[in-house]
Structure 1
Amino acid sequence: MPGQKTGLNITYLLITLVKLMHEHIFPQSQGRLDDVEAVLVACAVTIGHVENKLMTPHKIALFLGLPRTTVLRKLAILEQCEFVQRRDKNYDLSDRIVDKDRRKWIDGSIKAMKRFSADL
């Protein structure tokens, strides 16, 4: 059934990308998905960075449908991991991520997308 296989591949791709992002943010997690909400917040910050429209915690909360207090807690965790940094009222990817580590995560994501999208 074509629709079922497409849905399955999209699900595999989503899980693979979430795991890649989690491992990139929390390399010490040893493959455990301890904080998926932090990964979602990191993804929102990444979107703001790529679109050159940095987001406030309020915008991230609205975008993800999470409470603002949860977003603030996750941003604090991401700051400790040096994944994001505050720029006035907005959040952006840290200089470390932009300058050094981005290529590794992007290469892994592209590989996963090619693997699962071939059958879409």
Structure 2
Amino acid sequence: MAVLLPVLLAVVLITVQVAIHHHAVNTAQAAAAACAERAAGYDATLGDGVAAARSVLSQVNGLDDARVVAHLQPGAVRCVVTGSSPGLLTGGAAQIVRTASQPTERLG
């Protein structure tokens, strides 16, 4: 029994770490999608998209050191969200980068 307890504890901690990382990845993807969707709207700016992404990041709170960058490409908006997932076991954090693109809305 004394040998199984550390093994069981390690399995539980690894499972929690995987869940934390998965949550951070989903948070980054949601923020990137919100940024692209908002910035691609008619009369919207890249700043509007970045503000939408920051709003998602502040509400969900699953990504450390988050950075949001929006780029205007021909006919589309591309948003990149980078950050790190909190590290439970390693003490360090895994780097996360998620990107979303959306065609810009045009009149006519």
**How high is the TM-score relative to the length of structure 1?**
0.32
Structure richer in strand, relative to its length? 2
> Greater helix share, 1 or 2?
1
Structure whose alpha-carbon radius of gyration is higher: 2
